[in-house]
């Protein structure tokens, strides 16, 4: 869930000038500034996913966005992907184009916020247990509970994730949060941070 410091600046500049220039050029600029990290939200967001997946030869073997495998894709293929995706974005009307860039920007922001929250807790399992208990996030967990037996006990849902499920669930959670109104999202993060802080305080007192 690593986020590069340049992401917000580059994506904001892309959104601001999106209507005036071919989108392939903006995609190339972002790729040059951010490297392969730029492709992560484009891989997961439904607006751009189809074209990204089309250019991954062995995608059927991927669990999520496999960065180590992605880096093996040669530069020519990545530039061809950028050209095709740019042409697709150029065909969008102004509102759809702005909305797409907004969702890319939201992806990076939410990914960063989740990274900070889970990092404060120092464990994914405990963080997912907390997230499941929050009313704003629980609907996203249907993705995982639908894969469990009917008598599955959700008390410690975080420890039930396999590594493959974990890799796929965080993007699913980010997508859910993108579709959540910003005020609700911020209130959710505030609740999670308060619970994490309380957990840290209790642990420190026990130690």
| Residue 189 to residues 9, 186, 198, Cα–Cα distance (Å) | 23, 5, 14
pLDDT, tens digit, for every residue of 157-185?
Answer: 999 999 889 989 999 999 999 999 999 99
The packing angle between helices 46-54 and 94-121, to 10°, is 90
Residue 18 neighbours by CB distance under 10 Å: 18
Task: Tell how far CA 21 is from the center of its chain.
Answer: 26
Residue 153: pLDDT band (50, 70, 90) is very high
Quote the strand ranges of the chain, DSSP E. none
In the chain, where the domains are located: 7-94, 122-206
Q: Global pTM?
A: 0.82
């Amino acid at each position: 869930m690593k986020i590069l410091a340049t992401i917000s600046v580059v994506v904001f500049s892309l959104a601001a000038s999106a209507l005036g220039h071919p989108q392939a050029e903006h995609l190339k600029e972002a790729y040059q500034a951010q490297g392969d990290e730029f492709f992560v939200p484009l891989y997961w967001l439904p607006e751009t996913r189809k074209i990204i997946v089309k250019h991954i030869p062995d995608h059927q073997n991927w669990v999520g966005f496999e960065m180590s495998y992605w880096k093996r894709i040669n530069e020519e293929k990545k530039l061809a992907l950028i050209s095709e995706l740019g042409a697709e974005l150029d065909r969008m009307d102004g509102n759809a184009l702005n909305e797409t860039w907004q969702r890319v920007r939201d992806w990076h922001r939410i990914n960063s916020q989740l990274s900070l929250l889970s990092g404060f807790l120092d464990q994914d399992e405990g963080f997912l247990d907390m997230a499941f208990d929050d009313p704003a996030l629980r609907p996203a967990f249907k993705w995982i509970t639908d894969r469990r037996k009917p008598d599955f006990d959700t008390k410690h849902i975080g420890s039930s994730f396999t590594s493959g499920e974990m890799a796929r669930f965080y993007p699913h959670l980010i997508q859910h949060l993108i579709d959540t109104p910003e005020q609700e999202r911020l209130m959710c993060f505030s609740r999670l941070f308060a619970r994490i802080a309380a957990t840290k305080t209790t642990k420190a007192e026990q130690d």
